[in-house]
């Protein structure tokens, strides 16, 4: 037997040990928590099936309410609501015909100018000086013409046309000089030696172009065989005008040229494609369904694909020219459009060819060279009357 004193001594360490604080428990891992949660859910489903089903569908409904608005849908476009192909000539264009001035609907979410009210663009630095230079340019050119002989072609438009003449906001720079040389060699120094004028200023909407024409750039004594109008891009891209407003702005300017010189042919050039998405013109099938929905006009602008709007505008311009004598539609969009892919796969989305349109908005020097050749062929067909498709007299007889 163990003596009583020894038993007490033996028990003492046990008692002292029991007084020590318990070691901290380790936290359960995430997998254990998930497992426990799932076990709880299964038990709840087993004992309360109806309530569980109700909660399940409520959760699905909440999730869908967040996801469905975020599916990427094409931005609502103000499609052309009227047929302008048979509109009567000479100032019959009415602003009241337009359902919405702005590309996304409404009249207040854009800087679209009223095409019925010609407006100066003098707030743009260098614009007024460029306008005065154009007036002097026309005056000097007419003075050099023998017996006020009509010019072969007068190009009218925005920065695209101004660059054809070797200028940018009235100033010469490296690229504009190269483009000017291209058109000088193609039109003026070529086999035919056409007499041409270039009346364009960068940044102009059609309302600004019309103001310039009415304030000295198109004097009464100026006449030409062809007036070549290339405009509308700034209405759509900078003013965010609706397709209808863009069409009517272009046609109103074309009608002013026709009214100024009734015997001349007016060529309406279709808008070239441009992109704010690194050259992508159309949304892929994937991007239409995924992505954040634009919750403001500014967000819509960032992801808006302009090409469908450009196509709508160009189609209306083409129909108008088909139904009006002395009007010819010219389109060169195909020069700048391609698709990405190889022999095994080709993407559905269309792309701009960066070599021909470096900034995906304006043609490069090489792009202008291709344009110059194509445009000169069109001028030859009209003036030399060697193409049935562009025979104005044939259209008149029809």
Query: What pLDDT digit, counting tens, does each position of 74-120 carry?
Result: 444 445 556 566 555 444 555 556 778 888 878 888 899 998 899 99
Q: Is residue 25 part of a domain?
A: no
In 270-334 the beta strands, taken as DSSP E runs, fall at 327-330
91 conformational bin, left if phi > 0, alpha if psi -120 to 50, beta if neither: left
Number of domain units in the chain:
2
pLDDT of residue 79: 53
User: Rounded mean pLDDT of 248-267?
Assistant: 94
Q: Is residue 62 part of a domain?
A: yes
Query: In DSSP terms, which residues pair with 241 in a beta bridge?
Result: 102
- Greater confidence (141 vs 285) lies with 141
Residues 393, 358: one domain? Answer: yes
- Greater confidence (70 vs 278) lies with 278
Please check the confidence at residue 218 and state whether its pLDDT lies above 50: yes
Most confident range, picked from 103-107, 289-293, 327-331, 391-395: 327-331
Structural domain range at position 58:
31-70
pLDDT band for position 44 (cuts 50, 70, 90): confident
Please check the confidence at residue 160 and state whether its pLDDT lies above 90: yes
- Mean of the per-residue pLDDT values of the chain: 79
Residues 50, 183: one domain? Answer: no
What backbone phi and psi angles, to 5 degrees, belong to 341?
150, -170
Instruction: Say what the pTM is.
Output: 0.73
Please check the confidence at residue 189 and state whether its pLDDT lies above 50: yes
Closest CA to 154 of 227, 212, 80, 255: 227
Residues 38, 119: one domain? Answer: no
- Where does a domain end: 13, 44, 70? 70
- Where does a domain end: 70, 100, 134? 70
Most confident range, picked from 148-157, 223-232, 332-341, 357-366: 223-232
pLDDT band for position 174 (cuts 50, 70, 90): confident
pLDDT digits (tens, 9 = 90+) for 303-356: 677 888 999 999 999 999 999 889 999 999 888 887 655 554 455 667 778 788
- CATH of residue 356's domain is 3.40.50.1110
Residues 308, 348: one domain? Answer: yes
User: Rounded mean pLDDT of 151-162?
Assistant: 96
Residue 359 DSSP code: T
**Would you say 294 and 300 are in contact if contact means Cβ atoms under 8 Å apart?**
yes
Q: Is residue 13 part of a domain?
A: no
- Greater confidence (30 vs 206) lies with 206
Give dist(CA 183, CA 171) in Å, integer: 17
Q: Using CB atoms within 10 Å of the CB of residue 155, give its burial: 0 to 12 exposed, 13 to 18 middle, 19+ buried.
A: buried
- Tell me the residue length of the chain: 398
Q: Is residue 1 part of a domain?
A: no
pLDDT band for position 243 (cuts 50, 70, 90): very high
The count of other CB atoms within 10 Å of the CB of residue 156 is 27
Give dist(CA 138, CA 98) in Å, integer: 35
Residues 185, 49: one domain? Answer: no
Residues 60, 161: one domain? Answer: no
pLDDT digits (tens, 9 = 90+) for 131-146: 999 999 999 999 888 7
Residues 346, 371: one domain? Answer: yes
pLDDT of residue 15: 45
Residues 263, 300: one domain? Answer: yes
Q: Is residue 218 part of a domain?
A: yes
Q: Is residue 95 part of a domain?
A: yes
- Greater confidence (207 vs 50) lies with 207
Question: Do the bridges between strand 337-341 and strand 327-330 make them parallel or antiparallel, or are there none, so unpaired?
Answer: unpaired
Closest CA to 307 of 249, 252, 236, 355: 236
Of the ranges 51-60, 121-130, 206-215, 278-287, which one carries the lowest mean pLDDT score? 278-287
pLDDT over 90 for what percent of the chain?
44
Give dist(CA 172, CA 170) in Å, integer: 7
User: Rounded mean pLDDT of 191-203?
Assistant: 92
Residues 90, 111: one domain? Answer: yes
Please check the confidence at residue 73 and state whether its pLDDT lies above 60: no
User: Rounded mean pLDDT of 216-234?
Assistant: 95
pLDDT band for position 209 (cuts 50, 70, 90): very high
Please check the confidence at residue 63 and state whether its pLDDT lies above 70: yes
Q: Is residue 172 part of a domain?
A: yes
Residues 65, 80: one domain? Answer: no
pLDDT band for position 383 (cuts 50, 70, 90): very high
User: Rounded mean pLDDT of 365-393?
Assistant: 81
The CA angle 282-287-290, to the nearest 5 degrees, is 155
- Where does a domain end: 70, 101, 130? 70
**Would you say 80 and 247 are in contact if contact means Cβ atoms under 8 Å apart?**
yes
User: Rounded mean pLDDT of 18-45?
Assistant: 69
- Greater confidence (80 vs 253) lies with 253
pLDDT over 70 for what percent of the chain?
71
Closest CA to 100 of 253, 206, 239, 241: 241
Q: Is residue 17 part of a domain?
A: no
Residues 180, 243: one domain? Answer: yes
Residues 256, 383: one domain? Answer: yes
């Amino acid at each position: 037997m163990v003596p009583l004193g020894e038993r007490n001594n033996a028990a003492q360490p046990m008692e002292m040990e029991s007084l020590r604080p318990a070691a901290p428990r380790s936290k359960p891992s995430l997998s254990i928590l998930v497992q426990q949660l799932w076990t709880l859910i299964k038990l709840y489903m087993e004992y309360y099936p109806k309530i569980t089903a109700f909660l399940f569908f409520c959760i699905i409904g909440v999730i869908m309410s967040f996801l469905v608005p975020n599916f990427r849908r094409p931005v609502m476009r103000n499609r052309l609501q009227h047929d302008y192909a048979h509109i009567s000539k000479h100032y019959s264009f009415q602003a009241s015909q337009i359902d919405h001035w702005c590309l996304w609907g409404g009249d207040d979410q854009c800087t679209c100018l009223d095409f019925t009210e010609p407006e100066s663009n003098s707030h743009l630095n260098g614009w007024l000086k460029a306008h005065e230079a154009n007036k002097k340019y026309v005056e000097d050119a007419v003075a050099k013409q023998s017996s006020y002989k009509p010019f072969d072609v007068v190009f009218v438009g925005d920065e695209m046309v101004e660059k054809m003449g070797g200028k940018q906001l009235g100033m010469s720079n490296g690229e504009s000089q190269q483009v000017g040389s291209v058109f000088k060699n193609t039109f003026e120094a070529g086999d035919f030696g056409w007499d041409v004028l270039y009346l364009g200023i960068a940044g102009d909407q059609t309302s600004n172009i019309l103001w310039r024409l009415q304030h000295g750039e198109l004097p009464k004594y100026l006449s030409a065989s062809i007036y070549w109008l290339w405009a509308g891009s700034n209405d759509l891209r900078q003013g965010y005008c609706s397709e209808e407003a863009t069409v009517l702005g272009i046609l109103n300017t074309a009608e002013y040229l026709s009214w100024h010189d009734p015997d001349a042919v007016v060529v309406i050039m279709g808008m070239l494609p441009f992109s704010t998405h690194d050259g992508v013109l159309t949304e892929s099938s994937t991007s239409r369904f995924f992505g954040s929905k634009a919750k403001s006009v500014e967000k819509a602008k960032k992801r808006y694909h302009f090409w469908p709007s450009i196509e709508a505008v160009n189609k209306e311009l083409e129909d108008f020219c088909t139904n009006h004598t002395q009007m010819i539609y010219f389109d060169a969009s195909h020069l700048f459009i391609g698709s990405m892919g190889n022999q095994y796969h080709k993407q559905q989305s269309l792309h701009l060819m960066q070599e021909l349109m470096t900034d995906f908005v304006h043609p490069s020097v090489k792009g202008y060279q291709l344009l110059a050749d194509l445009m000169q062929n069109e001028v030859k067909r009209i003036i030399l009357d060697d193409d049935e498709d562009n025979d104005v007299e044939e259209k008149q007889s029809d």
